Amino acid sequence: MRGILPVISRMRMDHDGAGSLHMWGDEVPVTADVRDGQPVLETSPDAHFPLVIRCTVNGDVLRMRFTNVGVEFDLTFDRAGEAEIAAHAAAQPVATPAPVGPDVTTNGLATAPPMGWNSWYGLRLRITDELVREVADALVEMGLRDAGYTFVTLDDGWQGGRGADGEILPNRGFPDMPTLGRKLHDLGLGFGIYSSPGPATCADYTGSFGYEEQDARTFARWGVDFLKYDWCSAGALYRTEEEMRGIFQRMGRALRESGRPIVFSLCQYGAFDVPRWGATVGGNLWRVSYDVEDRWESIEAIGFAEHSTPVGGWNDLDMLQIGLGGLSDVEYRTQMAIWAMRSAPLILSCDPRDLSASELHILTNRDIIAIDQDPLAAPVERHRIGAVDVWVKRLRVGHAVAFLNRTEDVVEARMTWEHIGLAHPARTRDAWTGVEAPASPEWSVALAAHESIVLRLLS
């Protein structure tokens, strides 16, 4: 489990001011500078989590202060410029007990897997009010809103500390949250926002720790309709399943009491079998994995992993990578097919203006979206025929069948409907090509590497 403590484990600095930090197991380059007579360390602005770390020097010890987290690390370098994190001191907040209470009553929202856009992969920490408005306009103009992508969520990087009264403040990029909320509502979109049960978010911005009720009220006043609540630094304060459930429930309850219907999206990377209990803390959807990446290996690992069947909400496989540029159309179609077959939330994350025509087609495919949003939300039955994965999903009317090739080779398989437990349908429609054809009793499929075919069975 990630938290503050394992975030930074080792650091190296050369005498010329260049060095690196070990963060979450990755080596991140940093440069040192002097401002106002004190060292400042800075990661590249392109880093996954761009950081500016203010330091003080006391004898041989360099003290790094992560302002938002309120945590300080002391480092003593050896002659080669290497330092293990020597001490973890100062203002580490103390966990307030958050015992699990009675289940939070359901808010009745998100009766289908939520769909929308989230700023994280496309804009990272460059988000501003202006860019979000541009994205919102693009979602409308490009037909994505009408296809169902209605929540517009500001992920990490909108926060700017707290006021004297404790109220969470946006940073300079967001001059007026209620007006932004109104703009989104006027466009027929929902307003989503992001916070953490820890004192800091994963990118070291202000979290809701100790201010849950106040933040829920503030979000409600801003017109927020959706909250993604990301574990991050809470891992340093809370370790057991009980503690995790208790602190998520505290926000779940605060949202229910805020007077505004707000979808609650849990993000704790699937810990403690969250599909079983996410709804009891007020959750509507919950992530079941670490962060998805725009690489085939990541789509495959998350897409094919088995999870418990969700109770009272949705298993969130993380965001659609379509439009981010790392995969081919064939592979993006397969991500979409898997997410839809598994009734996962469909949240795109690229700047929609970067979408190619074929990617826009993938995202707005009516059959695929209908399979995702089908009211039965039946779990897929998985079969394997030769090297082909064949998934069957019962729909309110008929079935959907996905043929998936997770291998690097062309694969082929012959099969009958009985092989996959189905009666022979009259016709099928191929979701990707739109071609309708009579169904034969026995047939074969051939799939290129990472390719998918999705059929809707028609009587």
Instruction: Give the footprint of ligand GLA on residues 157-186 (CB under 6 A).
Output: none
Strand 8-13 relative to strand 82-89, pairing? antiparallel
Active site (annotated) includes residue 389: no
Which part of the chain contacts ligand GLA (CB under 6 A), choosing from 196-204, 238-246, 368-376, 438-446? 196-204
In sequence order, the 6+-apart residues with CB closer than 8 A to the CB of 440 are none
DSSP codes, 12-57: EE-TTSEEEEEETTEEEEEEEEEETTEEEEEE-TTSSS--EEEEEE
CB 151 to ligand GLA: min, Å:
14
- What three-state secondary structure class fits 164? coil
Per-residue contact string for residues 281-320; x = within reach of ligand GLA by CB under 6 A: ----------x-----------------------------
Residue 292: CB minimum distance to ligand GLA, A: 8
CA 136 to chain centre: 19
Q: Min. distance of Cβ 177 from ligand GLA in angstroms?
A: 19
The burial of 364, by beta-carbon neighbours within 10 Å (0-12 exposed, 13-18 middle, 19 or more buried), is given as: middle
Q: Which of 23, 98, 180, 203 binds ligand GLA (CB under 6 A)?
A: 203
Of residues 120, 174, 226, 314, which one binds ligand GLA by CB under 6 A? 120
The Cα-based distances of 68 to 4, 207, 286 in angstroms read: 12, 8, 25
Residues 6+ apart with CB under 8 A from 127: 119, 154, 155, 157, 158, 173
How large is the angle between the packed helices 177-186 and 129-141, nearest 10 degrees?
A: 0
Q: Name residue, tokens 């026995």.
A: 442
CB closer to ligand GLA, 291 vs 381: 291
- What b-and-e string marks burial along 228-238, b requiring 16 or more CB atoms within 10 Å of the CB? bbbbbbbbbbb
Residue with smaller CB distance to ligand GLA, 274 or 392: 274
Residue tagged active-site, from 74, 137, 291, 430 = 291
Q: Looking at 139, 168, 202, 220, which residue binds ligand GLA (CB under 6 A)? A: 202
Rounded alpha-carbon distances, angstroms, from residue 449 to 212, 331, 455: 47, 9, 19
Nearest approach, Cβ of residue 242 and ligand GLA (Å): 22
Determine whether 45 is exposed, middle or buried from the number of CB atoms within 10 Å of its CB (0-12, 13-18, 19+).
Answer: exposed
Interface with ligand GLA, residue 155, by CB under 6 A = yes
**Interacting positions 251-270 with ligand GLA (CB under 6 A):** 267
Which of 152, 267 has the CB closer to ligand GLA?
267
Q: Shortest Cβ distance from residue 235 to ligand GLA (Å)?
A: 12
DSSP string for 55-76: EEEETTEEEEEETTTTEEEEEE
204 lies in the binding site for ligand GLA (CB under 6 A): no
Site for ligand GLA in 90-119 (CB under 6 A): none
**Judged by CB under 6 A, how many residues of this single chain contact ligand GLA?**
9
**Out of 72, 129, 156, 351, which residue is the one contacting ligand GLA (CB under 6 A)?**
156
Binder among 68, 119, 159, 201 for ligand GLA (CB under 6 A)? 201
- Is 155:228 a contact under the CB 8 Å cutoff? yes
- Decide if 207 contacts 232 (C-beta within 8 A): yes
The single residue among 212, 230, 316, 374 that binds ligand GLA, judged by CB under 6 A, is 230
Does 127 sit near ligand GLA (CB under 6 A)?
Answer: no
Whether the CB-CB separation of 246 and 213 falls below 8 Å is answered with: no
Cα 390–chain centre separation: 27
- Which member of 156, 230, 294, 372 is catalytic? 230
- From 6-14, 20-28, 198-206, 273-281, span contacting ligand GLA (CB under 6 A): 198-206
230 is catalytic: yes
Nearer to ligand GLA, 201 or 208 (CB): 201
Active site residues: 230, 291
Which residues contribute to the site for ligand GLA (CB under 6 A)?
120, 155-156, 201-203, 230, 267, 291
